[in-house]
Amino acid sequence: MMNCARVEGRLGLFGGSFDPVHLGHLLVAQAACEELGLSRLFFIPAAQSPFKPGAEPAPASARLAMLRLALAGEARYEIDDQEIRRGGVSYTIDTVRDYAARFAPAELFYLIGADHVSKLPQWREADELARLAQFVVIPRPGEVMAPPPVPFRVRTLGGFPLAVSSSQVRQRVKARQAVTHLVPAAVAEFIYNNRLYL
């Protein structure tokens, strides 16, 4: 098991659809842990992303199961299913408010891929969100890093840029192409055994 220099009271929040979780996500987590010295990092799967209104994700139970398989044995990572339990469209502000209330005075770092930076001002209650959490951007190949939008506090990590996306994994499964080395082996096995994304 790997270690990162942990600083108490620095919490990483990593929201997404995780449909499915892939190695790009795991490298985001590793970069954030190492570069920010997070004490804890929470993966927070969305019930329904506000930015993917037409898309019906795989059942929450399957997305959670794949996260558990991907994170097994990683003591520093936790899975928080609060957005799934709330149901409906998942708004980050609701989740960040919950963390701010429960963990005050911890510093909250919300992790996003470079593709989300330019859209931050459109996130619900953007001003309050910007006040409660710092945003941490991980480079994503093919995405030009937009300038940080006011009033967000944005920090960019070096990371491990990897051009893998969940949509690419889903498309490859549908086309009967291998997803080995794009997702953890146990996740690939889960996808095949449960006939997901066909």
**Strand boundaries in 35-161, DSSP class E:** 40-45, 77-79, 107-113, 134-138, 154-156
With beta carbons less than 8 A apart as the criterion, state whether 14 and 44 touch: yes
For residue 154, list its beta bridge partners.
Answer: 135
Of 52, 72, 55, residue with least CA distance to 64: 72
71 binds ligand ATP (CB under 6 A): no
- List the interface residues with ligand ATP, window 131-190 (CB under 6 A): 138, 140, 162, 164-167
Q: Which of residues 31 and 40 has its CB atom nearest to ligand ATP in the complex? A: 31
Residue 122 beta carbon to ligand ATP: minimum distance, rounded to whole angstroms: 14
Q: Which of residues 104 and 175 has its CB atom nearest to ligand ATP in the complex? A: 175
Joined together, the tokens standing for residue 142 give 């093919």
Of 36, 45, 39, 99, residue with least CA distance to 70: 45
How many chain residues interact with ligand ATP (CB under 6 A)? 18
25 binds ligand ATP (CB under 6 A): yes
18 binds ligand ATP (CB under 6 A): yes
Q: Which of residues 9 and 165 has its CB atom nearest to ligand ATP in the complex? A: 165
125 vs 136: CA distance, rounded Å: 18
Of 10, 40, 76, 116, the one binding ligand ATP by CB under 6 A:
116
- Alpha-carbon distances of 137 from 50, 129, 149, 160, rounded to whole Å: 19, 15, 12, 12
Window of 13-21, 75-83, 119-127, 185-193 that interacts with ligand ATP by CB under 6 A: 13-21
60 binds ligand ATP (CB under 6 A): no
With beta carbons less than 8 A apart as the criterion, state whether 27 and 159 touch: yes
Of 112, 117, 188, 191, the one binding ligand ATP by CB under 6 A:
112
17 binds ligand ATP (CB under 6 A): yes
Contact residues: ligand ATP, CB under 6 A: 16-19, 24-25, 28, 112-113, 115-116, 138, 140, 162, 164-167
